[in-house]
Amino acid sequence: MMIRGSTGLIAHIGYPTHTFKSPMIYNPYFAHAGIDAVVVPMGCRAASYPALLAALFTLENIHGALITMPHKVSTLALVDAASPAARVAGACNAVRRAPDGRLVGDLFDGEGFVRGVRRKGVELAGQQAFVAGCGGVGSAIAASLAAAGVAAISLFDARPESAEALCRRLRAHYPALRLRTGEADPAGHGLVVNATPLGMHDDDPLPLDVTRLDPGCFVGEVVLREHTPFLRAALARGCRAQEGTDMLFEQIPAYLEFFGLPTTTPARLRALAQLDGPPRQENVS
């Protein structure tokens, strides 16, 4: 990768930044494809974010911004227009400047999830879906499942008010969608999603009762670890499954398109990614 005066900027904004993965996914692809752009981490606290976002979009060489914790929800109020997925989920994780100067927000977590599931041959139209976890990523996935034509979504969250709030936003945009909250049982659902953080740590409890999974169901995971206990249990029951990293790589082409950059396949992006690059000799930052 060679950064020069002509290089376009994608600001990756969040806090803390040390867990960011996007620079190690996008930048190797840009280098490989000869795309003169770079993703740069920007560690920004909540109080400083509105002014930072506004200032960055005055730059002549900005392609856009990738937004992550803790700014995804507040971004929705800072953009001039947002996609239906962003409005249903109540969050944005990508911002660009439209040719007319307006800031446009979108959200591609759910799109990545849906693209991955479809690539694995799952038919979403008419599907009965169960989403455990109604925070940011659960909301995004539910919004994209609704847009993809599922017949019903059951929402569960340990904080019932989160599930109820998402239910109301989905109902406002998709009046024909059958919605249910308050039920932790995944039985009877053809698509079951863990959208909670449970599974990030080895001693986490399972996000739901896996003995109640229909053996023929398709299970999706958002936690970015290989073979979480939840996925292992589901596979042991005979379910098919999608890992968190599948959702991650499936959404990158959507961002590239959004930023107006040449795109490629998730498989290519995964092959080029350097998520486990060599450690630095010295870390001064």
Catalytic site positions: 72
For 29, the token pair is 């692809």
Here the tokens at position 216 are 């023929």
Beta carbon of residue 61, minimum distance to a copy of itself (angstroms, whole number): 4
Residue where the block lists tokens 């499954």: 241
Sign of the alpha-carbon torsion through 69, 70, 71, 77: positive
Cβ contact 28:273 at 8 Å: yes
Q: Which is nearer to a copy of itself, 25 or 82 (CB)?
A: 25
User: What's the CA gap between 105 and 235, in Å, rounded?
Assistant: 36
Q: In terms of CB distance, is 201 or 280 closer to a copy of itself?
A: 280
Q: Using an 8 Å Cβ cutoff, are 141 and 167 in contact?
A: no
Query: What CA–CA distance (Å, rounded) separates 51 from 56?
Result: 9
d(CA 20, CA 131): 25
Question: Of 175 and 277, which CB lies nearer to a copy of itself in the complex structure?
Answer: 277
Residue with tokens 């929402």: 155
Interface residue list for a copy of itself (CB under 8 A): 1-9, 15-21, 23-24, 27, 33-45, 48, 51-52, 54-56, 58-61, 63, 260-262, 274, 277-278, 280-285
**Closest approach of Cβ 211 to a copy of itself, in Å?**
38
Q: How far is the CB of 110 from a copy of itself (least distance, A)?
A: 23
Cβ contact 109:145 at 8 Å: no
> Rounded to the nearest whole angstrom, what is the least distance from the CB of residue 278 to a copy of itself in the complex?
8
Q: Which is nearer to a copy of itself, 35 or 67 (CB)?
A: 35
